[in-house]
Each structure stands twice: as C-alpha cells, then as structure tokens.
Chains A and B, each alone.
Chain A
Amino acid sequence: MSTSQLVLEAQDIRKTFHDPVTVEVLKGVSLEVKKGEFVSIIGKSGCGKSTLLYILSTMDTDYQGTLRLGGETTGSKNHAALAALRNAYIGFVFQFHYLLPEFSVLENVMLPGLKLARKSREELEHHAIERLQMLGIADQARKKASMLSGGQKQRVAIARALINDPLIVMGDEPTGNLDRKNSDLVFDIFRDLASERGQALLVVTHDMEFAAKTDRIIEMDDGRIIS
C-alpha cells in the first residue's frame, strides 16, 4: 500500500509522568494505521495502551515524538487547531457513551457536524438519520438520549463518531460496558465499517475475543509494542 493511504502515523512516542515519581509510561512507540484497517491494541492494564490512544487522539499533548494525522503533523498546532482537527478527522467511541442528556439522539449525533459546519442543518440531519438507520436505531432519533438503553446509547455514540466521515474512528474499550450480545453487535458494526466503507479503526480493548477478530492486533507491555 502506498503511504498516501496511511491515516495515522506515530513515530517514537514517549511519555513520562512526573507525579509523584518519574515514570516513563511510553518508551518509544511507533505505529501506522492504513485506510480500511481495523486495528486493536491489547495489553495488561497499566501497559500504556490507553495513554497511547489519547496521545494519538491529540487530546493529550504532553509527549515526545511525532504524530501525523491524514498527512498533517500535529506537534506544532495549538489546542484550538487540534480541536478542529479532531472534529474533522477523528471519531470517538468510549467505554461510556457520553451523550448529552439535554439533547435528542439526533441532535447528539449532529453536534460534531454542526461544529464542522461543512453541511447545512438539513443535509446533516439527513446524514445523521442515515447513520442511525445503518445502526438500526433510526426510530429512536427524536427521543432524549437519556431514554435509551445502554446498547442503544453506544450505537448512538458510534453514529456520532461517524457523522463527519472521519479518517479514523478511535475506541477506548467501546464494548467494556456492554453485554455479550451488544458487544457482538458493536463489533459487527465496526467490521462492516472497515470492510465495506474502508473506515480505519483503532480500538483499545482488553477483550481478547474482540481483538482476535480484528485485522491486526498490537500488543503492548510496559510502554512498548511487543507484537
């Protein structure tokens, strides 16, 4: 594959915590994610996998090394520019759904799109309904987010992650709070996104069964990639 299809490129990422004692949690991590690739990161808790994900997500800026997202180097950007970058390039699915309870399902999905402001409100609404349909929850669109079940909320969160057609979807234990049935459902959705839409996915998980079905498994231990 040519380098133009690399969506995420990290080189020699290092991070040190100084409080209360100096601990190096990432000791030079390099990885690449290509378009359409479904990658999982596994490892024992405390191995630095989540820390790595938040650095890759641009939310954590306190690290050494270089990070390129869609060909753009992130190192020199300020917080506002990084926020704009996340808005356009990254979709997030966390363990917890983080839906805004004051807003309807549809509005929750649309918010990042409204922020990006590349489409009109009507187009976005159409787009959001399409996403919700794909995830089988279009009938809930007008309900308040707080009225949904756990599995439904996580699907709304996925729809929200997809609203701006991101380069990459990042997940931090996206199935951590779900039962087997719902986890499988989320996995299938991710699978389809990767193979049918060419969506790049990078998921941190400790669910080995989940990881085993992904395209590539990155295993970490003590701040390093071991396989």
Chain B
Amino acid sequence: MKYKLLLYIAWNLLTARLRQSIIAGIGVTFGITMFITLMGFMTGLNGLLDGLILNRTPHIRLYNELEASDKQPIEQHPDYSNHLLMQRSIKPVDRGRGLYNGGAALEALKQDPRVLGVAPKTQSQVFYHVGTTDITGLVQGIDPAEEERLFHVSDYIVKGELESLKRVENGIILGYGIAEKMLADLGDMVQVSSATGEKATLKIVGLYQSGLAEVDNSQSYVSLATAQKLAGQGAGYFTDIQIKLHDLNRAPELSKEFASVYKAQAVDIQTANAQFDTGSSIRNLISYAVSITLLIVAGFGIYNILNMMIYEKMDSIAILKATGFSGRDVQWIFLLLSMIIGFSGGILGLGFGYALSSLIDVLPFETEALPTIKTYPVNFDPVYYFTGVSFALATTWVAGWFPAKKASKVDPVDIIRGK
C-alpha cells in the first residue's frame, strides 16, 4: 500500500518530465540492445566454433595402439636380473587394432553413471578404387544413432541422410573431397578394399563435409558391421570407444581410470585440445566489457537527469516532507522513478536486442569451412535476456541511489524558509 502511493507519485513526476525520462531511458535501451545483440552474436559464434571441436571430439577416447612390449622376455628371467640386458629382438605382436574385449567394455561403460554416452567405432584403412588408380583413405564404422546423439554428425552431412546407414546395409557416406575426385554422387557404387585384403562394393547414401580438407579427402562413414567386415573381424571388434561424460572437467581423471580398467590407451579432450576454450572466454569477456561500459554511460545519464529533477523538485520534496512523508519515502520515490526508467528502458532494450539478433540471424553467412551454416549464428539463450534486465535494474538502482539519497536529506525548513 505504502509503495503503491510512492510508485504513484514517482510515476506522476516521471510523466510530467516525459521527454527527459525518455532520453534517460533510451540510454538504457541502447545499452541493453547492444548487450543482447553482442552476447547473442558472440556466444552464437563461440558455440559454433566450440561445436566444431567439442561436438566432434569425445571427452575420452579409448583405443589400442601398436606398442613395443614394455619388457623383453629376457628381462623376466631371474638369472639375468642383475645383468645389463641389450637384447631387443622380440618385436611387438600385432594383436590387431581392436580393443581388448571391446563388446564387454562397451556394455560396462554404458552402465557407468558418470558416462553420458558411448559410441563405438571401427576404423579401417582402405583404398577407394577410382578407375585404374587407388586413393588411400580411412573408413569409419559407426553406430549412426549414438554418433548423432553424441557428436551431431548429421550437421556435416551435405547430401543424403545419416539414417541411410542403418537402412542400406552396404551404404557409405563419402567425404566430399573423395567424392569429387571420384566424380561420384548419391546412389553411385564405390569399390573399396581394405589393407587386410577384404573387398566391398558400397553404395553412396550420403556425402559429408567437415570443413577440414584433409579429413574430407580421405574419410568416409559406414555402418559398424561393414567396417568390421572390411577389417576381417567379428561383431565385437571396435578400434575406438568414444565416451562423453556428464562432467567434461572430469575427463583427465576418468581417462586414466578407464585406461587401466579396460587395458587400452585413453586420451582426454583437455589434453587433445588444450587451447580450445581460451578464445571463447576472451570473446565473452570483451562482450561483457563493452556492454557494461554502455550501461555505465547510460547510468550517468540517469544520474544527471535525476539530479536535475531533484533540484527542480525541491519545493515538492519539501512539502511532501512537511506533510508527513519521511526521508525514506522520498528516497523511494526517486529510486522508483529511476527503476521505472531502467525497467522500461531495459525491456525495450530486450525487444530491440531480440529484433537486431533476429536480423543478424537471417543474414547470409556462407563459408566453405562450415557447410551446414547458411546464416550468422546467433544465440537466443534466455539467460542473456535475464542478465540484461538485471544489469539495467542494477545500473539504474545505483544511478538513482545517490540523487535519491540527496533528496531524502532535503531539509524542508531550509526550502520553505528560504522563499
């Protein structure tokens, strides 16, 4: 009830100085508009760039690499434990590139509560046969559903569909570069032979373009079964297990654990892409800095206008205090006045910010590197809209506080006797 009256008085004071109030509000509107637009654009771009790495990279990758045995047989013999051993003759045995007991490891990882998802992969070195020449390349056998859920593969598929890998038994999604060299298109058949001598005739069900020429010129996707066949192995043969965690930050710790449990090599995303988030955080920092600067300028505008208003309204303040409004009431009136400017300016700013973001969102942005991106990426995360309004309110609160405090200290006797 009390605040309703104070709000009513504030509103009347404000509407009586509508033009000044609107100018003060425009400052806030401008600040918030820029904040929303900048943040939306910057984080949209960040999301895109991070996505390039993050979406495609498993948090932990388990794989099996060909390695020389740690211990030569002779070292294990007790008779020679004190001897200088120089024998290096026993070469590593190729147990294949497959993970040890891959199927079981896969099932166990799926049950792990710390793991968001697991996608197995079977890689195989192949030759693509083109006329009389062969192109070397890599075929990746994937589980399309899991691969899509965890790594958004279909973002990079420029022709055809990922799901076709499930439907078409001998389907292949070819890298764009290879397809160009082979003059192949959807529906064509490709001859592929693997390093182990397995041959297959595969039907092109899609083309993909990752934006990295090296990858597009050599890689292609097939179903797990096709890849296992090419590798000459059975259904439990996986060369990689890609793991996504609930908490990305635990990757280094868990990668060690998984490596020892599943007897495989493991690499975590932090080690693999150490520098990836530095750019993002710096871009965010710049956006915040620019927006806060704009809002501070807007805050000074409000401060000035309120100060002026308080000088103009000395008589009104004096009589309000004489007739029973306390200093705190008067302070609230001017604080509310400032907050009304901040709130309406802020809300308008959100509107304009949204409009500007939407405009940027439809501007064409085409680049070879990002085939599925046609327009500028803009992030419409509501968090920034909440932050924007909070900023507007906080700025106007601070800007209003000092003039309002001054108004609350006006001594009515000084004003009334001074006449």
Contacts and interface: CB of A to CB of B under 8 A. Distances in A.
Given A98-B318, A102-B13, A103-B12, A92 B419 contact: no
Given A84-B324, A87-B324, A88-B324, A115 B5 contact: yes
A226 B269 CA distance: 95
B5 A92 contact: no
B315 A98 contact: yes
A95 B328 CA distance: 26
B323 A115 contact: yes
A59 interface: yes
B301 interface: no
Contacts of A87: 323-325
B407 to A, nearest CB: 14
B308 to A, nearest CB: 15
Contacts of B16: 101-102
Contacts of A114: 5, 8
A114 B4 CA distance: 10
Interface string B1-28: 1100100110011011000000000000
B1 A83 contact: no
B13 to A, nearest CB: 6
A99 B319 CA distance: 8
Nearest to A176: B419
Contacts of A212: none
B195 interface: no
A99 B318 CA distance: 11
Nearest to B324: A87
A70 to B, nearest CB: 14
Interface residues of B, number: 29
Contacts of B324: 83-84, 86-88, 112, 115-116
Given A59-B412, A60-B413, A172-B416, A79 B327 contact: yes
Interface string B392-419: 0000000000000000000111001101
A84 B316 contact: no
Contacts of A160: 323
B4 to A, nearest CB: 9
A59 B410 CA distance: 11
A94 interface: yes
Contacts of B319: 92, 98-100
A101 B316 CA distance: 8
A178 B249 CA distance: 80
A98 B321 CA distance: 11
Contacts of A112: 323-324
B12 to A, nearest CB: 5
A80 interface: yes
Given A95-B419, A100-B319, A102-B16, A83 B325 contact: yes
A54 interface: yes
A115 B416 contact: no
A86 B316 CA distance: 16
Contacts of A92: 319, 322-323
B419 A86 contact: no
Interface in A97-145: 98-103, 107, 111-112, 114-117
Contacts of A95: 419
Interface in A173-210: none
Contacts of B419: 94-96
Contacts of A86: 322-324
A79 B326 contact: yes
Contact of B326 (A84, A101, A117): A84
Nearest to B16: A102
A94 B9 CA distance: 22
Interface in B289-319: 315-316, 318-319
Given A54-B413, A59-B413, A98-B416, A115 B325 contact: yes
Interface of B: 1-2, 5, 8-9, 12-13, 15-16, 315-316, 318-329, 411-413, 416-417, 419
25 contacts: A59-B322, A80-B326, A80-B327, A80-B328, A83-B321, A83-B325, A84-B326, A86-B324, A94-B419, A95-B419, A98-B322, A98-B416, A99-B319, A100-B12, A102-B12, A102-B15, A107-B12, A111-B320, A111-B323, A112-B323, A114-B8, A115-B324, A115-B329, A116-B324, A117-B1
